[in-house]
Structure 1
Amino acid sequence: MRAIVVQKFGATPELADVPVPTAGPGEVQVALDAAGVNPFDLKMADGLLEGKMPTDFPMILGVDGAGAVSAVGAGVTKFAVGDKVVGKFLTAPAGHGSWAQYATVPEDATLVPIPDGVTTVAAAALPTAGVTAQDLVDAAHIQPDQKVLIVGATGGVGSFLVQLANIAGAHVIATARGDAADQVARLGAAETIDYTRARPADPHVVDPDPVGYRDSNVTDAVRFTHPDGIDVLFDLVSGPADFASHATLVRRGGHAYSITWGADENALREREITGGNFESKGRSAELARLLTRVTAGDVVVPVQMTVPLDAAPAVLGAGSARGKTVLAI
């Protein structure tokens, strides 16, 4: 079968022909139709799991995948051949991911049926980014009318987070380039901060760099319009310095989360701010709940583009995402 692999950590991802995996006892084999692309995939290829999880090489990349059950191993009771399913294809040993024509996964891993009306492309975009967004909203216990700042609102996690925070009743402030303001507004943002423009308090910057991320723009712009501060910060892109700047906007007793390990948790605790560096723990129950919201039309799956499997190396780590990239297998 065709798959996208790396021969060792740090190697260039490539299209390869590898054996079709068979379903062992308690396992489900899935014929994959679509696979999601996440920043984590590049980190895996570069060696994030080295020394943390046993890994088989050539390592097939990809975590998120959707398709149909093509075989079941002995003892499997939750799924049958022909079931449409979506899940996370990362279990020990790593290296048997979703960027392939077939993959196997234990039936008790993160794997759930795809409801009628949801395409495999949409489903494949959900597991990592969508569940992370849902877990963040759950952790912050957002209350109606709270002010929530989402830094990095146009990416995969951000696109879901804007919607889910809006559903929770928040006043959502989103950071995005100016030409993406309509996109985040449609997803539920009440305000958009264009981080490429000069901040309101600085009329002297005539031609700011349209590429560089200007942290002071975000912090000063939000403080200019919300001098009393915000209740919740979700920072999806920043390093420690920028996160610390954004966290100054959060009122004492509020919540601040980083998914890039940019938070100084001791500094947050000193200001009685809950949160810190966040890692999603959501599994099948959370994924099924998110799919229910998609089926009901409450959450839109923001697929930016769909590309063939062999294009995966070109889109891996491309950056500047506006929604999700999905591989058509």
Structure 2
Amino acid sequence: MTTTGKIVIVGGGVTGLTTAVALLEAGLSVRLVAAEIPGPTSVAAGAMWGPYLVEPWSKVRRWSLVSLDVFRGLSADPATGVRMVSGVEAARDAMPAPEWSTLLPDFRECSPGELPSGFGGGYRFTVPLIDMPAYLQYLLQRFRTAGGTTRRQFVTSLDEIDDASVIVNCAGLGAGDLATDDGVRPIRGQLVVVKNPGITEFFSEDTGLSPDLLCIYPHGEIVVLGGTAIDGETSLQDDPVATRAIIERCATVDPRLAKAPVIASRIGARPTRSEVRVEADSRSDGVRVFHNYGHGGAGVTLSWGCAREVVHLVTG
């Protein structure tokens, strides 16, 4: 199907920006509309590639592989904020290898000496680690350089968009309201940014569905520590109690973090859904609508795969 006229992307987070870049670089005219560009939840992300707690796996696998390939290429340019980093994911008890382990060629079981005290099993692998403030600015600059335009607007209904031949709903937590989909819910996440005491590898604990996470993501002179996952919570206010608890948990893995100077907290609300929604729809007046939302904490991991699927849907 031939697409003429302007495509309007609603949403300024990593999903909206990536989809906008993909459509623009496919030769289409694109405007990005959002209240904040880049979106605050994406700015707050850690962020490490990994298709955690997101469905359906048959599609997630494909989308994750596309993004993994793109991030590997971007890691050659320091200006993108993307680096390939080795590290360990571990659990207090023996843990089975996750489904996505087959996507990583160097994925292997840890020897006992590679595990911190108190951990019973784990795996070592190399994945993209993304410095989100830098990466989102890279995406925004790439979008603008290719001729994309932006408009700051809080969109409460897709009917407000009156200058588009195609609308793409990438509004994160707000996408459910725009699509009249009550299956989207927030999961509040808080991370802590500290001065890096010399950490070069990531560490992540498989905590299952616990609201208390443990992850250590080094980004040069800083380390991003996590975190929390509070289902149903939308507040973006800093929680000092959570900050102290996050640092304490991470310091059990690397004691140097106990005294690392705190630089900032990052808080976001992950837009979570039982299954990611990437599909075609239409407005009552016939304007074509495409949805791309519900990625939970895997928005970065799925970003390029979902964006290219939207390109296929729009142009196919």
- TM-score, normalising length from structure 1? 0.29
Q: Which has the higher helix share?
A: 2
The structure showing larger relative contact order (alpha-carbon pairs under 8 Å, at least 6 residues apart) is 2
Larger CA Rg, structure 1 vs 2:
1
